[in-house]
Amino acid sequence: MTETTHRGCPVAHTDFTGTTPIYEHYRMLDQDREEARFLFNDTTERGFFMLQRYDDVREGFQQHENWTTAVRSALRPDVSGEPLLPQDLNGAEHVKLRRILNQFFAPAAVRRMEPMAQQRCIELIEEIQGVGSCDFVAEFAIRYPTDMFLALLGLPVSDGEQFLEWSDDYFSALLAGDPARAAAAKSSIMSYFDDAVNERRANPRDPKEDMVTRLVEARIDDVPLTQDEILTICLTLMLAGLDTTRSALGYIYAHLANNPADRQALIDDPALIPKAVEEFLRLYPLVFQAGREVQEPQRFEDLKLDTGDVVWLGVAQANRDPRKFENPDQFDLHRPNANQHLAFGGGPHRCLGMHLARLELKVVLEEWHKRIPEYRVAPGTELRERGVQLSMASLPLEWEV
């Protein structure tokens, strides 16, 4: 219930940072969206103005000149002190760096990764297929994007396990707002990347094929990227790509395990899988908000914004807005506008890795169901989700062998 107003905006106190039963965050987000078009949430030190409805959120992503990524998460404006690239850049500087990176994440470049993506996916499935059960999140959903990430950087997949430990530790410390633990995990990761980048400086590969070589050779306005910038880009890709893909897979498999008719539809007609991926991304967005910081006083519809205000762009609320998507809580394989979801954001900061993420999700759905068509959530399991950025710690699945 809202009780007061903040600069004319109703105030809400919903806490989106806790661990809850699965899907609870969507319920809270839907409730806030339907309560008022805009809300001011006072649960963080700085508070944030919430844009929650589809048209407002989409428009919000276009306000990039005045609303910058000086704050990236409305819920954790303080972790924005941790440098990330390209996120931290805005305007012309951002465009220049994106141009260098886009080459490796464009649809054609990602398509070239498909045979490798399939092969690694099959290997991982075959490791667990004969066992008849697994913790899908820990034994598959995080290992796969980690291996793909190492391959993208041209690093040995055999480093996956060690790397996973560091990255998991780092990410969870950041989300928990624990800077000391985050710093310790980060230093192991950075020294690993440092070795990899130095190796490429000594032994360059074809910059068209090898991302690290391209980063080493890249120039922006005739100036090479510094070692620190290159390491930060590697770290950013890790942070942005692993937890998100793991979480997306978790929600997709929780859905398919509990909805056998949807699973059967994909088995009967695998050509539907790309559509299913879009609908899953719409229905289960895990980056449920993006943050921005206002640089100059501005009026946005009814909102009176001041310099330094934090804005919340409600990705999940937009994706589940009944004004845009009919029966938004339902998984509909034939939804005509599913691909207009905002799960990858919008505007200049739209997800760099979205084509790679789509490929990974598609390949997993194809290869898994060829080998393990029937599965269920282990009886008695209570699925839970982490707030801030949705993720399940565990998804125990079982099947007959």
CB of 334 to ligand HEM, least distance (A): 22
Provide the minimum distance between the beta carbon of 152 and ligand HEM in the complex, in angstroms, as a whole number. Answer: 7
**Coil vs helix vs strand at 125:** helix
- The CA distance from 283 to 100, in Å, is 32
- In angstroms, give the least distance from the CB of 261 to ligand HEM: 24
**How many C-beta atoms surround the C-beta of residue 37 within 10 A?**
16
Phi, psi of 209 (to 5 degrees): -105, -30
d(CA 56, CA 63): 11
d(CA 243, CA 153): 17
**Cβ proximity to ligand HEM, 125 vs 237, nearer residue:** 237
Q: Which is nearer to ligand HEM, 350 or 370 (CB)?
A: 350
Please state, in angstroms and rounded to a whole number, the distance separating the CA atoms of residues 221 and 231.
20
Task: Pick between residue 216 and residue 248 the one whose CB is nearest to ligand HEM.
Answer: 248
CB atoms within 10 A of CB 26: 21
Q: Whose Cβ is closer to ligand HEM: residue 260's or residue 348's?
A: 348
Beta-carbon contacts of 397 under 8 Å, excluding residues fewer than 6 positions away, are 133, 134, 135, 136, 253, 257, 375, 376, 377, 378
Of 10 and 174, nearer to ligand HEM (C-beta) is 174
Residue 21, both tokens? 């039963």
Q: Could you identify the residue written with the tokens 């100059």?
A: 296
DSSP string, 157-178: GGGHHHHHHHHHHHHHHHHTT-
Query: Given the complex with ligand HEM, which of 6 and 64 has the nearer CB atom?
Result: 64
Binding site for ligand HEM (CB under 6 A): 69, 72, 86-87, 98, 236-237, 240-241, 244-245, 248, 286-287, 290, 315, 343-345, 349, 351-353, 356-357
Distance in Å, CB of 169 to ligand HEM, minimum: 19
Q: In angstroms, what is the minimal distance from the CB of 202 to ligand HEM?
A: 25
Looking at the Cβ atoms of 257 and 357, the one nearer to ligand HEM is 357
CB of 79 to ligand HEM, least distance (A): 13
Q: How far is the CB of 380 from ligand HEM (least distance, A)?
A: 29
